[in-house]
Structure 1
Amino acid sequence: MGTLILLTAEAAHEGGFGLNFNILETNIINLAIVIGVLVYFGRNILGKVLADRRSQIEQAIQEAEGRVKEAAAALAEQQQKLAQAQTEAQRIKANAEASAQSLRESILKQADEDIVRMQSSAAQDLATQQERVIAELRQRVAAMAVQKAEAHLREQMGEDSQRQLIDRSIAMIGGS
């Protein structure tokens, strides 16, 4: 297109139509025409493209800032929930420790009471067993003493003495 204009301009200058074969001259003119057309028409288009791109970038930055704010708010909320959960966990742990300590003291107290009760019961059982053994020994000793006394009396007393003793005993029982 630029070459055609040059050809037309040169032909008009010489009085006719002709071709310009000077490459440097025609390229510079063509380049100047193309740049001029681009500047004239491209200024609006390029300005509009750059303005659109700028607005897209600004919008993307605003959206990113919005997401950052939302993320920061969500992070703060989750940190608050974490702090509450940690506080609750500490409270539960403290309650559990207090309950465990109370239960431990209760178990120790019950164990002490059981030991005292078992010692008392063992002492009573021992005393009862001792009394039973002593009573049994007394009965055996008494039975042995009676047997020995009877044997001794039989040896030392004759039949006459035995009859007299029996008669006296009967008289005492009958006289009472």
Structure 2
Amino acid sequence: MKNVTDSFVPLGHWPSAGSFGLNTDILATNPINLSVVLGVLIFFGKGVCASCLLSDLLDNRKQRILNTIQNSEELRGGAIKQLKKARARLRKVEIEADQFRVNGYSEIEREKFTLINSTYKILEQLENYKNETIHFEQQRAINQVRQQVFQQALKGAIGTLNSCLSNELHLRTINVNIGMFGAMKEITD
């Protein structure tokens, strides 16, 4: 390592003497910087103890660091409180979401059950309507057949009577019927 006195080589010895520049040699510049700082402290300090000044600077620095740590601790405490509040709110929201989910599922099941029941009732009504319609149509068809059979039988009977009855037989039947009506009248009087 170089001697401390080697750092105080006259400026004419350096190739860039007389001009201002940066010296990047750390070993050469560090002692120079220290000597400049000490010179400034001695010049401006005049009667101020260098160790007292350094002690004051360190105390100030220590106090700032302690204040920064204290502020950080307070911020950390506040952040922890906010985190606890946020977690509590999250738990509350999760519980509410679970309740909505359960209520939603039960509501869906209720609506499904109601829909199935109403559909069943509608199908039952349609089945009853269908059966009533079929019964009605059957009765109507039976009545039409009966009417047609009756008309056919009546036509056949009239045709048989017309072909079998002569005018004389016809007159005799009318006279007998008139006689029966007359006898009935006498009985009722």
- Residues 1:62 and 1:134: Cα distance change in structure 2 (over 3 Å): same
Q: Which moved more, 1:94-103 or 1:40-49?
A: 40-49
Larger fraction in helix: 1
Q: Report the Cα distance in structure 2 between the residues aligned to 1:118 and 1:64, rounded to whole angstroms.
A: 78
Matched, 1:65 2:89: no
Q: How many residue pairs align between the two structures?
A: 146
Unaligned runs of 5+ in 1: 1-22, 24-30
| Partner in structure 1 of residue 148 of structure 2 | 140
Question: Deviating runs (4+, > 3 A) in structure 1?
Answer: 33-40, 166-176
Q: Map 1:89-100 to 2 at 5 A.
A: 89-100=97-108
C-alpha RMSD of the superposition: 2.6
| Structure 1 equivalent of residue 83 of structure 2 | 75
* Aligned twin of 2:110: 102
> C-alpha displacement at 1:36, in angstroms?
10
Distance 1:53 1:91 in 2: 56
Q: Which runs of 5+ in 2 are unaligned?
A: 1-9, 11-34, 185-189
- Against the structure 1 CA distance between its residues 172 and 55, is the aligned structure 2 distance closer, same or farther, given a 3 Å change threshold? farther
Number of the residue aligned with 1:9: none
1:156 aligned residue: 164
Question: How far is 1:35 from its partner?
Answer: 10
Q: In structure 2, what is the Cα distance between the partners aligned to 1:93 and 1:158?
A: 97
Find the aligned partners of 1:174 and 1:122 in 2 and give their Cα distance: 56
Identity of aligned residues (%): 18
Structure 2 equivalent of residue 56 of structure 1 = 64
Deviation, structure 1 residue 162? 2.2
CA distance in 2, matches of 1:173, 1:143: 28
Partner of 1:128: 136
Q: Hey, what's the Cα distance between the residues in 2 that align with 1:108 and 1:86?
A: 32
Change beyond 3 A, Cα 1:156–1:34: closer
The partner residue of 2:52 within 37, 44, 58 is: 44
For 2:167, give the aligned amino acid.
Answer: E
